[in-house]
Amino acid sequence: MQSLHNGKGNKINSNKHFIPLQSNINFMTSLQDRIRQLSSDLFPEMVAIRRHLHQYPELSKMEFQTMEFVCSRLNEYGIPFRKEIAGTGIMALIEGRNPGSRCIGLRADMDALPIQEINEVEYKSNHPGVMHACGHDVHTTILLGAARILKNLSGEWEGTLKLFFQPSEETYPGGAISMINEGVLEDPSPEFIIGQHVFPLLNAGMAGFCPGLFMASTDEFFLTVKGKGGHGAMPQLAVDPILIAAHIVIALQQIVSRNANPIVPTVVTIGRIIGEGRTNVIPREVTMDGTVRTFDEAWRKQVHEKIRTIATLTAEAMGGQCEVKFAAGYPFLNNDQDLTTRLRSLAGTYLGNENAVSVDQKMGAEDFAYFAQARPSCFYALGIANPALGIKGNLHTADFNVDETSIDTGIGLMTWIALNLMQGSK
């Protein structure tokens, strides 16, 4: 087993550091009710943790304060850990009875986005231009809360739970593959890995599941269209890269409409065009940035070649040139069919069947896909919206926020899922 420490070079004595939850629970009460009660007892503390993380967001690969904060909480809970994995990641272990009998992994991501928050709340980001606009503060809080309850109940289940607090989900190549390459899936090796993501299209108190293909692969491409600059009143003496770029944008749309198999979802989007001219100045070059999303690895490679061919030949046909570069992103995310079906059933039991629903495939991407490639996994959606309170902002927007009751739901559900998986047959 990997050597775990408290971040100061000292091995943790879990019993020495553990501060148990205080709760007036009748231990003859059902496991569901006990989890609900423990999560409810933790709720004020967890809201405070989420708000602290929200106030002090850190960008990908820069989550140094976040890492130390999480480590301090794990220390308080008596949970041994190893930090500075993939730079700022953390791996922790909670052992139940007979810890070698099985292992299951739970994952949360920690990084924020380069967005200026416009919410006027008491816990508004204190870091200008940086915001938890994707809910990673909530993910981290929920995993901490679930960890505390699972530690509290560790005498009642068998096996080992492995916790991944992952950095850099928002920036390629992503923290997941880096953590995996540093051995976090070994010694012990998780049988399953579970993750969740806040989901603004579901109300707080709900969870959504999609067996099989759930989220798309993602790659970025960068085009530099080169022409010949000139005066806007004398276009015959120039080679206009803006016109060439416009033709390339239109031509690239045929990849989806005429080259893609209609049953394989595909997106080709140009999201940024820069041509530094003026009303009367034709620029020398234009740059364009875009993204490619799909669910088929062979087709994914073909799309790259089609973009390259269309862009370069279109530019040449119009007297210019086009340089094409790609940045490989994340693979598509495939939820294990049997595991995801099982987790939806467990969620129905815990939340009520009306609150455990199906969600559609998404063209968004997630580097949890690397965990899902390595082990049978389930990545599910956690509802956070509350239109009555005006909480309906989408992911990656400056007004993104969550109904904080979703933290209670998320902690309870993740704990319930983990305990049921640990008690299942191997």
Q: Among all residues, which ones are annotated catalytic?
A: 111, 169
Asked if 354 contacts 239 with a C-beta cutoff of 8 angstroms, the reply is no
Single-letter amino acid, residue 157: W
| Tokens (6 digits) for 84 | 């500075």
Of the candidates 45, 143, 24, the one whose C-alpha atom is nearest the C-alpha of residue 94 is: 143
**Pairwise CA distance, residues 200 & 319, whole Å:** 47
Q: What is the separation of C-alpha 89 from the centre of its chain, rounded to a whole number of angstroms? A: 14
| Tokens (6 digits) for 270 | 């140009």
Asked if 96 contacts 159 with a C-beta cutoff of 8 angstroms, the reply is yes
> Residue 11 carries which DSSP code?
B
**Pairwise CA distance, residues 278 & 381, whole Å:** 46
CA-based torsion, 310, 316, 319, 325: positive or negative: positive
**Pairwise CA distance, residues 159 & 229, whole Å:** 68
Of the candidates 199, 141, 201, 132, the one whose C-alpha atom is nearest the C-alpha of residue 382 is: 199
| Tokens (6 digits) for 338 | 């049997």
Burial class (CB in 10 A: 0-12, 13-18, 19+), 27: exposed
**Pairwise CA distance, residues 399 & 392, whole Å:** 9
- Could you list the beta-strand ranges (E) of 346-424: 356-358, 377-385
3-state secondary structure 138-203: HHHHHHHHHHHHHHHCHHHCECEEEEEEECCCCCCCCHHHHHHHCCCCCCCCCCEEEEEEEEEEEE
Write the CB contacts of 128 (distance below 8 Å, at least 6 apart in sequence).
Answer: 116
| Tokens (6 digits) for 250 | 């239109």
| Tokens (6 digits) for 30 | 């059902």
